Structure 1
Amino acid sequence: MLDDRDRKLLDLLQRDADSALTDLSERVNLSPSACSRRITRLREEGYIDRHVMVLDRARMNVATTVFVMLKTAHHTADWLERFRAGVIDIPEIVEVHRLAGNLDYIIKIVVTDIAHYDAIYKRLVSRIDLFDVSAYISMETLKNEQAVPTGYAS
């Protein structure tokens, strides 16, 4: 069961996992050793999934985002496994979601430019049968938050 300190600690860590333990402990009003024990417990209980560094996409030369909406005529477990295998090893594909509603999947792809997207598109359609593919180029990112709300966890 999480308490308010746990939630505050998780909120701080997900915004900056590089925060010094002394800073974190002061912000949640705990000693550094007690704070360290809480972080260890939160990791062991699965609240902390992993630690990552968020890279600057412009500096990495993949500043263009393309959202691809997919429809498929196939809804079998075999097709889903082929689809999963088809997208998993393409590093430019950073998110894939199965949807409810008119579309089956949405894919977020980060690329250098539209020619780069075209190469990814060709790789994807050579691996799996798709019924309908629509691409939408992001013109501007209005919000890109990695942190999730901590108030709902128990």
Structure 2
Amino acid sequence: MLDKTDRTLLSLLQQDCTTSLQSLAEAVNLTSTPCWKRLKRLEEEGFIRAKVALLDHDKLGLALTAFVHIKTQQHNSDWYHSFVALVKEMPEVLAFYRMAGEYDYLMRVLVADMKSYDNFYKRLVNGVPGLIDVTSSFAMEEIKNTTVVPL
């Protein structure tokens, strides 16, 4: 169970995971050792999955975000595991969900341009049988994109 101090620490880390232990401890009115123990416990219990740098995809030349909706006629376990394995090997796929509703799967894909997307699309549709509809939408503007989880 998370208490107020745990939630405050997690909120601070979500804003900047490079914040020093001393600064975190001061923010929650603890000394360094108890603060460190809390952080260690939060990591061990899986509340903190990773500490990463968030990169600017535009500066890296990755300017095209696509949302790919997929329908399939396959729903058996072997097909599912093959499909998941294929998608996990595609670095362009930033997020991948199995859905309820009109589409079976949804991907968020990041590529440089339309030619790069076309190459991705061909690898996807040729990589696994049974896809009956692959529909893509392209982001014109990113209005909000955050990794901050509401606490």
TM-score norm. by structure 1 comes to 0.94
1:114 matched to 2:114? The reply is: yes
CA RMSD in angstroms comes to 0.9
Q: Distance in 2 between matches of 1:99 and 1:53?
A: 29
Partner AA of 1:101 in structure 2: G
1:63 matched to 2:63? The reply is: yes
Partner AA of 2:28 in structure 1: V
In the alignment, structure 1 segments of 5+ residues that lack a partner are none
Counting only pairs closer than 5 Å after superposition, residues 107-146 of structure 1 correspond to structure 2 as 107-129=107-129, 130-146=131-147
1:73 matched to 2:95? The reply is: no
Q: CA deviation at 1:83?
A: 0.6
Q: Report the number of matched residues.
A: 150
Number of the residue aligned with 1:21? 21
CA offsets 1:43-88 (integer angstroms, 9 cap, x no match): 1111111111111111211121000000001111111011111111
Counting only pairs closer than 5 Å after superposition, residues 31-110 of structure 1 correspond to structure 2 as 31-110=31-110
Q: CA deviation at 1:149?
A: 1.6
SS at match of 1:132: strand
Q: CA deviation at 1:123?
A: 0.5
Q: Distance in 2 between matches of 1:36 and 1:53?
A: 21
Partner AA of 2:76 in structure 1: T
Q: Distance in 1 between matches of 2:54 and 2:124?
A: 26
Partner AA of 2:146 in structure 1: E
Q: Distance in 1 between matches of 2:143 and 2:121?
A: 25
Q: CA deviation at 1:33?
A: 1.7
Partner AA of 2:147 in structure 1: Q
Q: Distance in 1 between matches of 2:126 and 2:82?
A: 12
Q: CA deviation at 1:15?
A: 1.8
Partner AA of 1:107 in structure 2: M
CA offsets 1:79-106 (integer angstroms, 9 cap, x no match): 1011111111111111110000111001
- What is the aligned-residue identity percentage? 43
Runs of 4+ in structure 1 deviating by more than 2 angstroms, as ranges, are none
TM-score norm. by structure 2 comes to 0.96
